[in-house]
Structure formats: C-alpha cells, structure tokens
Amino acid sequence: MQKFGGTSVADPERIRAVADHVARTRRSGDDVVVVVSAMGKSTDDLLRLAFDVAERPDGRELDMLLTAGERISMALVSMAVEDLGVPAMSFTGSQAGIVTDTAHNRAKIMEVRGDRIREALAAGKVAIVAGFQGVSTEREITTLGRGASDLTAVALAAALGAEVCEIYTDVEGVYSADPRIVPKARKLARVSFDEMLEMAATGGRVLALRSVEFARNHHVKVHVRSSFTWAPGTWVTEEDPSLTSMEQAILSGVTHDASEAKVTIEQVPDRPGVAATWFRALADAGVNVDMIVQNVSTAGRTDISFTVPRTDLARAESCMDKIVVETEATGYRTDPRIGRVSLIGAGMKTNPGIAAQMFEVLAAEGINIEMISTSTIRISCVVAEDDVEPAVRALHTAFGLDGAS
C-alpha cells in the first residue's frame, strides 16, 4: 500500500515520478495498491468555487464536487503507470468498496469491501484508489473529511492485509519538532501509535489523527516517508516492549499548535451540571472544544478555561452570553493569541520529574504558562502565541532532542 498526498501529485512531473516509483515497486514483485489525494491545492480551489456559487453549498453536492479532485489524480497516475508498461486500473472510493455512513463531508467508514481491488491485484494490475471518498449505505457519494486520504490508505491496508502502509508526503518522516522552528530537529526512525496519536492531536501535521487511530486499532504498520527523496522515513508501529520496560521516559518530540483560541468563563458557581450546561450549548453551536481546565474552586466559584479552534471562536462567542446567564457566571473573556506546546514521550506519567523540568525550562525562558493538561505520554502547556516558537526550541534542547546536525 502506497499513499501519495497532494504535493506528491501536484503536477505532471511529480505524477510521472510517482508512477515511476509505483512501477518499480510492482516490478520488484509486490502487489501494489496506491491511494492518491487530489492534486496540490485543487480541493481548496473547488471549495472556493462552491462558496462562489452558493452561500451555503448543499452537503451532498459538495461531496459530489470535491470527489472530482481525486478522480482526476487517480486517472492521471493510473495512465502514467500504464504508460510505463505496468498494467494499472483506477478506482473511485465507491468502486473500491469504501462504504460509509450517510454524513456528507465528514462520513465515517462502516466497511471496506475491496472485492474489485482484489480482482485487479489477482489479474496482476496495480490498483490506484481515490482517497478521501466513499459511497454511503444509501448509495450516495460521500467524503471522509479533510486529510482523510491517509485514512483511506490505512483502512484499505487493513482490509487487504497489506504488509505495510507507506504514506508518502513532502517531508522525510516524523520529526522531534517542526524543522522550520527547530533546525536541529531529528527525524525519528520509529514512533509508537500512542505517541503518534498525541503528536497528531497536538499539532504534528504529518499524519491525520483518524488514520493513526485506525492504524492502531487494526494493527496496520505505517511508514511515513518522502516522495521527493524516496529515503526511508519513520515507522509508526506498536510500542516496542524492549524500550518501554526500562521504566524510563523516552521523549520523542515537541509539537506545537498555534491555531487555537482560549475562552474563560469567570466565577462559575461550582455545582453539578454546570459543565454539562455550557458544553452542550457549545456542541449545539458546532464548536469543537479541545483542552478544558477547571481551577480549584474558591468560595464555591471557579474559572473554567477551554480552547477552541480559532475558526470556531466567533461561533463560541455567539453563545457565551447565554452560557454566562445560564451558569450564573460573572462574565467571560477570550484570547485568540495563544498557542500550545506539547512534549510527547512514553513513560512520562511515571516520571513526574519530566513535567517539573518542562515548567522550569519555560520559566527560565520567561514564558508564562496559562493552562496545563497531561496524558500518559504527553504534557501540554498553553502559552502566549509569541512564546510558542521560543518554547519549542528551548524544550527541544533541554530534553536532549537536538540532533547532531
């Protein structure tokens, strides 16, 4: 299984390079299934057209429109592979048997049939599959949400029992931090699914969260690598017990995300049901709440802070007045200029020294921590937006992640 993202098929030259790699893999004797994204920024272009012709484009029609993008790239890749003398055949999500629920624009995969792909492979053909799309149980064309071509690849790899799911992209693999911010960031040879999940959830842009979840749940070996250098990249696999048994924190990277905003509800009476009230109101408004921190209450009142994608902030604000009244809070404030810095690594929870060291490093840089949240393999701090990059660099160095460069 080989999956190529938008930048990997952005123009005819890139498509021919991809076809060449696919043909070579096939000639080496392996069955090959290829999943492709739409070319370059073409999905964005189609979306823009949709909003040019309609204020609120219909969900079904939006899916019909957007699926044209992968249809174009899969046909081009397929004819380019055929042109090299290797039989190939393209499949839409529907033809590939990606069956989804009926939620247009964000459908969930219900089943992967893959019969026609198995037939093509048995006939010695390379199967080229459109990512990001499927067909609903009601026979309508659906899409799986932005970035879901990775999910298509992982789901097909699971259904077909592929040896490996190679995700080709424009970077060489998963790095210990964003190399644009930390020049000494190291390419990781391997990360565990759990670490990759935390990275994807906290700003690591290499793999989409849902595809990592799917890969973990279905034991699909993922290899993230570059379609520009074709060098070996990063393996995402089950945790290696020989490493974790050492009971020592193994830090794998620092991630950051500067696309969120913070909302604080002030002086909420601390009583049962309050959280449910405001959380429901935000959910009904379609606001995606991420981190939530509730301070210890003083005199029966508490501040509740949460982060939302910055694009959801306007919607969140539109229902805050109602929330303040209903929860009997004294008011609310918002801060769009925040960012989150996260330290990811196995064995972190049992090494409280890591968190302490993280806070010390940030303090030494004069960086104020606004919110903290942790998981078994992650510590995240919300800081001012301007502090994000210095924080990433300081943490990367302090925790010994800098490469030799």
* Residue with Cβ nearer its own copies (72 or 289): 72
Does residue number 118 form part of the binding site for its own copies (CB under 8 A)? no
Least distance (Å) from its own copies to the CB of residue 320?
30
Question: In this structure, how many other beta carbons lie within 10 angstroms of the beta carbon of residue 325?
Answer: 9
Angle at which helix 193-201 crosses helix 209-217, to 10 degrees, equals 160
Least distance (Å) from its own copies to the CB of residue 148?
19
* Residue with Cβ nearer its own copies (69 or 347): 69
Least distance (Å) from its own copies to the CB of residue 27?
18
Does residue number 379 form part of the binding site for its own copies (CB under 8 A)? no
Does residue number 121 form part of the binding site for its own copies (CB under 8 A)? no
* Residue with Cβ nearer its own copies (88 or 377): 88
Does residue number 146 form part of the binding site for its own copies (CB under 8 A)? no
With b for 16 or more beta-carbon neighbours within 10 A and e for fewer, the 129-156 pattern comes to: bbbbbbbbeeebbbbbeebbbbbbbbbb
Q: Which of residues 47, 57, 239, 375 is near its own copies by CB under 8 A?
A: 57
Written as six digits, the tokens of 324 are 């303040």
* Residue with Cβ nearer its own copies (69 or 233): 69
Does residue number 113 form part of the binding site for its own copies (CB under 8 A)? no
Least distance (Å) from its own copies to the CB of residue 51?
9
Q: Which of residues 25, 41, 47, 64 is near its own copies by CB under 8 A?
A: 64
How many residues interact with its own copies (rule CB under 8 A)?
37
* Residue with Cβ nearer its own copies (60 or 184): 60
* Residue with Cβ nearer its own copies (92 or 264): 92
Does residue number 285 form part of the binding site for its own copies (CB under 8 A)? no
Does residue number 74 form part of the binding site for its own copies (CB under 8 A)? yes
Does residue number 349 form part of the binding site for its own copies (CB under 8 A)? no
Does residue number 50 form part of the binding site for its own copies (CB under 8 A)? yes
Does residue number 67 form part of the binding site for its own copies (CB under 8 A)? yes
The answer to whether residues 15 and 76 touch, using CB atoms and an 8 Å cutoff, is yes
* Residue with Cβ nearer its own copies (65 or 263): 65
Of the ranges 73-81, 144-152, 212-220, 312-320, which one interacts with its own copies (CB under 8 A)?
Answer: 73-81
For the window 9-48, what string marks contact with its own copies as x by the rule CB under 8 A? ---x--xx--x--------------------------x--
For the window 237-276, what string marks contact with its own copies as x by the rule CB under 8 A? ----------------------------------------
Applying CB under 8 A, the residues found at the interface with its own copies are: 12, 15-16, 19, 46, 49-50, 52-58, 60-62, 64-65, 67-69, 71-72, 74-80, 82-83, 88-90, 92
